[in-house]
């Protein structure tokens, strides 16, 4: 059996590209060299390039996502392992392009990526499946902001966040009415649409869900204990939080979280890695968001959960590649 050519595609256009590069390196190191020829492809705003084993750059041909090697031979990839966090790899843009040129890739399809990147729409769809979330107000840039009405409806404290942004960028916790306008300005720097949500006073948990060998499984439930006010970018990526796996919750609550996390994953028609964030209040999980390309560096939650579950990184990544290879063009 000839080895398949697999590109680990990392980078991205957002501030998360540094995390993506670490995630990509772990996947690149972990894929089975007995089964695959593994390559690195970096996608940045100003250039898309292939990185050879000597770290020499070669441009990616965007017409068919191929690269021309030193012998003038064109290398086409049998599958792309998408590990870009944020745009364009987590919001459907890259998936739509790959679909158009017939390139196979890991993870969920264009529609699921675009939907889950939009917090408002995701929560609206999941509410139809009985999955609760915080009360919220949705605003577009330029719309009038009635501070008194918003505070009366949601109460204080409350959260202001970009509707479409990964990794807790642009999120503020507002404790005083006078802070609301400034918080919306911070969120609007990340996106033209924002959500203002009621504060859910409970334990935050992060739940890894994947489809592994044909079955939807919960890898683990991780309790998030941020040193900051909430699980912001610093807490998520710079160590300013304690992450406890498994979470310190009773069996009944564990089962409820697992059931709702699986229901959310299956209801959205998901595939590949996912990490969903919930707040537990009185034993009930309230959905915050779903990430379809969560961080995958050695310190990230999903690899930690997989280790405890008993699935090696090699098997976890190999499972994704095999599913991608079986996709129809």
Residues near 36 by beta carbon (within 8 Å), at least 6 away in sequence = 3, 4, 5, 6, 321
Q: Is the pLDDT of residue 114 over 50?
A: yes
Closest to 174 (Cα-Cα) out of 154, 203, 189: 154
Query: Which of the residues 14, 20, 136, 167 is marked catalytic?
Result: 167
Mean pLDDT value across residues 178-187: 94
Mean pLDDT value across residues 126-138: 95
Query: Which of the residues 14, 16, 30, 136 is marked catalytic?
Result: 16
Is residue 271 annotated as part of the catalytic site, yes or no?
Answer: no
Q: What is the tens place of the pLDDT at every residue in 215-250?
A: 999 999 999 997 766 544 444 445 567 899 999 999
pTM over 0.95: no
Q: What is the pLDDT of residue 229?
A: 64
Query: Which of the residues 168, 204, 300, 320 is marked catalytic?
Result: 300
How high does pLDDT run on average in the chain?
A: 92
- Ordered alpha helix ranges (H), the chain: 17-30, 93-101, 110-117, 119-127, 147-154, 180-188, 233-237, 251-267, 301-309, 313-326
Report d(CA 130, CA 260) in Å as an integer: 9
Is residue 2 annotated as part of the catalytic site, yes or no?
Answer: no
Binding residues: 289, 291
Mean pLDDT value across residues 275-287: 95
Is residue 16 annotated as part of the catalytic site, yes or no?
Answer: yes
**Token pair for 314:** 């090699």
Q: What is the pLDDT of residue 31?
A: 98
Binding residues for Mg(2+): 289, 291
Q: Is the pLDDT of residue 251 over 50?
A: yes
Report d(CA 120, CA 122) in Å as an integer: 6
Q: What is the pLDDT of residue 329?
A: 63
Q: What is the tens place of the pLDDT at every residue in 153-172?
A: 999 999 999 998 755 678 89
Q: What is the pLDDT of residue 232?
A: 47
Q: Is the pLDDT of residue 290 over 60?
A: yes
């Amino acid at each position: 059996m000839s080895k398949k050519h697999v590109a680990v595609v990392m980078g991205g256009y957002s501030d998360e590209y540094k995390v993506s590069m670490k995630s990509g390196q772990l996947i690149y190191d972990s894929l089975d060299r007995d089964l695959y020829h593994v390559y690195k492809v970096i996608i940045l705003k100003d250039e898309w390039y292939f990185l050879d084993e000597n770290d020499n750059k070669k441009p990616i041909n965007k017409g068919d996502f191929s690269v021309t090697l030193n012998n003038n031979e064109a290398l086409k990839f049998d599958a792309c392992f998408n590990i870009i966090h944020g745009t364009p790899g987590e919001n459907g843009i890259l998936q739509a392009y790959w679909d158009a040129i017939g390139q196979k890739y890991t993870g969920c399809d264009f529609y699921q990526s675009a939907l889950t990147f939009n917090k408002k729409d995701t929560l609206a769809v999941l509410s139809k499946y009985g999955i609760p979330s915080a009360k919220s107000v949705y605003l577009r840039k330029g719309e009038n902001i009635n501070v008194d009405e918003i505070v009366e409806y949601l109460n204080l404290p409350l959260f202001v966040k970009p509707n479409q942004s990964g990794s807790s960028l642009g999120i503020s916790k507002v404790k005083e009415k006078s802070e609301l306008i400034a918080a919306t300005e911070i969120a609007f720097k990340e996106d033209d649409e924002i959500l203002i949500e009621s504060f859910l006073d409970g334990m935050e948990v992060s739940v890894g869900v994947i489809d592994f060998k044909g079955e939807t499984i919960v890898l683990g439930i991780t309790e998030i204990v941020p040193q900051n006010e909430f699980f912001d970018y610093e807490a998520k990526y710079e160590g300013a939080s304690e992450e406890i796996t498994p979470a310190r919750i009773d069996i009944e609550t564990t089962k409820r979280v697992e059931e709702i996390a699986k229901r959310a994953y299956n209801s959205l028609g998901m595939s590949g890695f996912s990490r969903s964030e919930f707040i537990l209040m009185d034993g009930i999980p309230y959905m915050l968001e779903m990430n379809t390309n969560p961080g995958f560096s050695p310190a990230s939650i999903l690899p930690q959960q997989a280790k405890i579950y008993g699935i090696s990184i090699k098997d976890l990544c190999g499972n994704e590649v095999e599913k991608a290879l079986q996709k129809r063009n």
